């Protein structure tokens, strides 16, 4: 389990987040650019290591009724990943019609590229075609099911 200080150091490394001290030594981290009313990415991080990350827009996480995930026992990579995903889920999304190419990575640092070619969306692993899809949502659904997230 990471200490409170280690979690603070990790969260402070996200320039998009604003640290807000609240009662009882707890800390919140806000994402001011959120496209929904939810601004808290990290809620009530306590000196005992307990705290919550908003994952209400994410797939694959067990959330409470407010969309929060308890991060008390998270490792550094797990914490970085969920915070990154939470920020992305609250960020303005590019219009897929304007997008022409996008990189996706998985936990093994493997990279796939989604590329719009004509009316189709192709997924490449290096120079090899990995899949062809009729729409951007179909391509991204495939990538998410394969354990990939957008790289930035």
pLDDT tens for residues 1-28?
899 999 999 999 999 999 999 999 999 9
Tell me: do 144 and 85 sit in the same domain: no
pLDDT of residue 95: 60
8 A C-beta contact, residue 68 and residue 29: no
How many other CB atoms are there within 10 angstroms of residue 40's CB atom? Answer: 20
Residue 96, domain member (yes or no): no
Residue 95, domain member (yes or no): no
Tell me: do 46 and 117 sit in the same domain: no
Tell me: do 83 and 29 sit in the same domain: yes
The count of structural domains within the chain is: 2
Domain enclosing residue 146, as ranges: 101-150
Q: What's the average model confidence in pLDDT over 100-104?
A: 85
Task: Spell out the residues 6+ positions from residue 19 whose beta carbon is closer than 8 angstroms to its own.
Answer: 11, 12, 27, 28, 29
Tell me: do 80 and 36 sit in the same domain: yes
User: β-strand 68-70 against 101-105: which pairing, if any?
Assistant: unpaired
Residue 26, domain member (yes or no): yes
Tell me: do 105 and 86 sit in the same domain: no
| Coil, strand or helix at 142 | helix
């Amino acid at each position: 389990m990471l200490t409170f200080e280690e979690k603070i150091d990790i969260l402070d490394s996200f320039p998009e987040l604003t640290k807000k001290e609240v009662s009882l030594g707890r800390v919140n981290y806000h994402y001011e650019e959120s496209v929904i009313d939810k601004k808290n990415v990290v809620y009530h991080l306590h000196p005992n290591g307990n705290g919550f990350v908003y994952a209400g827009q994410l797939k694959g996480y067990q959330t409470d009724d407010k969309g929060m995930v308890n991060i008390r026992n998270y490792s550094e990579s797990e914490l970085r990943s969920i915070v990154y995903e939470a920020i992305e889920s609250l960020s303005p999304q590019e219009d897929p019609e304007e997008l022409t190419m996008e990189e996706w990575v998985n936990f093994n640092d493997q990279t796939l590229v989604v590329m719009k070619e004509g009316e189709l969306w192709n997924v490449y692993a290096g120079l090899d075609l990995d899949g062809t899809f009729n729409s951007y949502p179909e391509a991204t659904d495939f990538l998410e099911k394969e354990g990939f997230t957008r790289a930035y």
